[in-house]
């Protein structure tokens, strides 16, 4: 049953890949995105998946659960993710930040009712977000070409390996023995993640001239910024200073 479902999905993905592996005529090739035809096909698949599956489920989730419960769920997963942020900060050679993140987990677990409340932020322990992709970036591995992953969305070659490492090192994802429990937790995590941009999603639809390009260019910028911990805006701007050459 499970394999047949997987096969059906695989067939759907691959047929989409071959069916519409084209880019809109007139699109300027982007240096960062040499695999644009394939990426656009996967993007289209993800969009359909979101429209008919993930988004409807999330709206039911929002209908059933009051905001305070959703916030609690968000905080619990956030608290759990802080453990991995601490780990990655350590791997990136930032022990002070790692200690900050570790303290966040302690404070929120003990004083925040097991992570339901984020009491560490108001207490002055700033929240960070670090993952394996960023760690690889700090180690000097370039992002490589842009990649859209089925289900996971925007990524790069480096961040694809990062995502694999994230999953492999994730306790809830990899080491929970009870499959039913593990799947339930994963489903809740996915819905929680989708819920965080539920309202923003429609704003983005309205603002985008071409959503694919918009997300791609934003993703590439954002990841560079994250790897540098935002320092680029401090010393040298991500974009060179403007000289107004167009007027």
Q: CA-to-CA distance for 222 and 217, rounded, in angstroms? A: 9
Q: CA-to-CA distance for 90 and 97, rounded, in angstroms? A: 8
Residue 206 binds another protein (CB under 8 A) = yes
Task: Find residue 147's DSSP bridge partners.
Answer: 155
- Both structure tokens of 116: 């339901």
Q: Which of 246, 227, 13, 6 is nearest to 136 (CA)?
A: 227
Residue 110 binds another protein (CB under 8 A) = no
The residue (of 177 and 211) whose beta carbon lies closer to another protein is 211
Decide: 229 and 155 in contact? Cβ < 8 Å. Answer: no
Residue from 71, 99, 119, 188 touching another protein (CB under 8 A): that is: 71
Q: CA-to-CA distance for 123 and 104, rounded, in angstroms? A: 9
Residue 73-102 contact track with another protein, rule CB under 8 A, x = bound: -x---x------------------------
Decide: 21 and 43 in contact? Cβ < 8 Å. Answer: no
Residue 27 binds another protein (CB under 8 A) = yes
- Part in contact with another protein (CB under 8 A); list of ranges 4-12, 91-99, 107-115, 152-160: 152-160
Q: Enumerate binding residues for another protein (CB under 8 A).
A: 24-28, 30, 46, 71, 74, 78, 121, 126-127, 129, 131, 151-155, 159, 163, 166, 190, 193-194, 196-197, 199-210, 213-215, 217-219, 221-226, 230, 233-234, 237-239, 241-242, 244, 246-247
């Amino acid at each position: 049953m499970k394999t047949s479902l997987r096969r059906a999905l695989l067939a759907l993905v691959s047929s989409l890949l071959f069916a519409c592996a084209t880019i809109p005529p007139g699109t300027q090739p982007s240096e960062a995105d040499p695999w644009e035809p394939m990426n656009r096909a996967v993007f289209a698949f993800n969009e359909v998946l979101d429209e008919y599956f993930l988004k409807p489920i999330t709206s039911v989730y929002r209908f059933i659960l009051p905001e305070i419960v959703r916030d609690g769920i968000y905080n619990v997963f956030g608290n759990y993710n802080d453990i991995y942020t601490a780990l990655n900060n350590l791997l990136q050679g930032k022990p002070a930040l790692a200690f900050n993140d570790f303290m966040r987990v302690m404070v929120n677990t003990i004083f925040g009712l097991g992570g339901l409340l984020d009491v560490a932020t108001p207490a002055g322990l700033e929240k960070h977000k670090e993952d394996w992709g960023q760690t690889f970036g700090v180690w000097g591995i370039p992002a490589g070409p842009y990649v859209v992953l089925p289900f996971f969305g925007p990524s790069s070659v480096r961040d694809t390996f990062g995502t694999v490492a994230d999953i492999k090192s994730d306790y809830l994802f990899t080491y929970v023995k009870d499959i039913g429990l593990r799947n339930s937790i994963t489903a809740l995590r996915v819905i929680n993640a989708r819920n965080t941009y539920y309202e923003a999603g429609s704003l983005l639809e309205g603002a985008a001239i071409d959503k694919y390009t918009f997300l791609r260019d934003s993703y590439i910028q954002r990841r560079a910024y994250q790897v540098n911990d935002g320092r680029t805006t401090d010393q040298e701007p991500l974009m060179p200073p403007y000289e107004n050459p167009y007027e």
